[in-house]
Structure 1
Amino acid sequence: MSLTELSYYLRKFLPFGILILLIILILYYLVQLAILSIQPEQKTNISLDPVFGKIKPPILGKTTSSAGLNYTIDTLEGTPITATSSADVYFLPTSPVRFGYREKIYLMAKTLGFDTEVVKHKLEGKEAVFKDENQTLTIDITNFNFTYEYSFENHPDIFEGAQAPDKTISISNAIEFLKTVDRYPAELTQGKTNAILIKYDPALRKIFLTKEELSANMIEIDFYRPDMGSYIVVSPEYYNSQNYVMMVQSSSGYKIVKAQVHFYEKSEAQIGIYPIKTGDAAWQALKTGKGWAIQNPNVLRDVVIKEMFMGYLDPDIYQEYLQPVYVFLGENNFVAYVPAVADEYFIE
């Protein structure tokens, strides 16, 4: 066969050869798809270790049910998103009454300006209360959580000469104060801080939030736990922490007018792994009143949810577990929480 003839037959039969090859490849992939379609679906194994058995859902104090509102989701995803299949739940052990607590609570009271030679504490259950005509201090004698309030509304003179607070200096002063009263837990040293500028009008006896340092005459420094892995920690009020120091700054120093630490140490040894609600289940729980409306300042009836994610609720009142919640952020500063652990693992 000459080269001319070979070239002729190649040109004649090459398209048929390519077509046959394509048919074979198509048949091969069809057979592979058929095999995959008849194989049983592989189930994803979820690592669980619910060591505490059924647990109580999170406890929140001054909140209202998420029921009675009309919800619409308008997130980037457009649908509820499942955060994860399982998550850690941490045990919060109780603290016994500590030996020598009396010395410590009197040191705390003296630091805050109480004349402890005159003002003595009253024990109300596990709380020691110091009170005079200007201020009140309540201390839990088991863990030294405390709440302090100075009646600055009755003392407008402390705002005479008040300076616009510097955020950096105020954070440093707040940390110094917590160290002085010996209630600056290690986890709070590792978490973020947030400075909130405040303008107090002594004539109106009202507080206003402001973003302008020059118009502020008070500042609140909030302290938070560090993130739990890839999940943030949220407080019972979301926009404010239950661990804070509020002060007035002047040329002569600073005056603490409010302060609180309600912090519960978590166990690093007692950790359970619990299944988490799907995003759809959390969304239904929100709509059916099985969540909490944490913030609804405009008293909205129709709520548009713009963001949904999971975080850990840092409690301000004692409960046995530090556990996750789904967080729903809406327009006009609306915030709602839904317990994230699957319902079948909750005590009814």
Structure 2
Amino acid sequence: MKITCDRQQLLDAVLNVQRAVSSKSSIPALQGILLKAKQNSIYLCGYDAEMLGMTTEIEASVLQTGTVVLSAKLFGDIIRRLPDERVHLETDDKNMTTIQSGQSNFSIVGIPAEEYPELPKISGERGIQIPNSVLKDMIHQTIFAVAESDAKPIHTGTLFEIGDGKIRLVSVDGYRLALREERVNSEENGLSFVVPGKALQEVSKLLPENDENCAIQVGSRHILFTVGSYTVIARLLEGEFLDYRSAIPQNSSSTVTIKTSDFIDSVERVSLLITDRLKSPIRCIFEEDTIRLSSYTPIGRASDQFPAKLEGNSVEMGFNNHYLLDALRNAEGDQVKVELNGPLSPMKVLPMEGNSFLFLVLPVRLKSEDAG
């Protein structure tokens, strides 16, 4: 293999693909990046052989085609520090790879490409196209509610439902639920699958804020996202996802109209006494024209209030401050509608109009000493 390419393009590609590389693996090749010199380009691939694979191609002047696997960390560190705008790569028949740029010259030991596992093939594919900016927003507004523990592995991913000209993403972790829906130009119906949260985080980092389309292809066991020159392949999660429709309260006894920034600021203020060591719920009292918040921990008490409009019954509830803030920060619009159905039923956070998102936050039982 003998190529010349732009250093910045190569560095961007290496840093992105590197994120799919396995940090610990019994197969040395999986701790590396696969490089393939083609006719006018170089192909890069990172793969952890379990959950995630990422590929891309960049332009290159190719004098000799070939393949090699190079240590992802070492290769990335070298490219990052090269002094010139152009990089020359050359690999001999024993996989010794020379990297040269300006006056800098490195020779590093490569691994034969034959030792690199093949990426899975997508079989029985169905799929859709969705604007990059829309998918990025949808992931951002649901991924915060993905479960971090793997007590139920299926909940470490986000449920995708596609049908009737809509795409819906749903994440749950036992304490909250995030749902985001958009219309799409697709004839797919009844398509449902769960994508690992880790894969969605990587896709989100690659997605630009533009109206070009991301292509999603779904097979029986894997999913493929194509974002510009990148592809991300992930293994779908198996199992029974929560019946989220039955978890969403259908009725409410109170509806509150709230300025989102007022609620966020107030929660942040009364959270100042709460730490990982000194945990305490935030007490929220929803009244006719005011929401009063308070917290109590061994280091002190805090209280605050702000105006809001309540229709229905007054209600007093407790919430985990982080879960409450996550829901509010991911809500769209200057105002939100909050629906309540008593102190022990989940809080629903909704847009003022339409149903583009729905966040559920489960309440926390309050003790008398939390009263402030």
Both proteins in one fold, TM over 0.5: no
Query: TM-score, normalising length from structure 2?
Result: 0.20
Choose 1 or 2 for highest CA Rg.
1
Ranked by relative contact order (alpha carbons within 8 Å, sequence separation 6 or more), the top structure is 1
The structure that is strand-richer by fraction is 2
Query: TM-score, normalising length from structure 1?
Result: 0.21
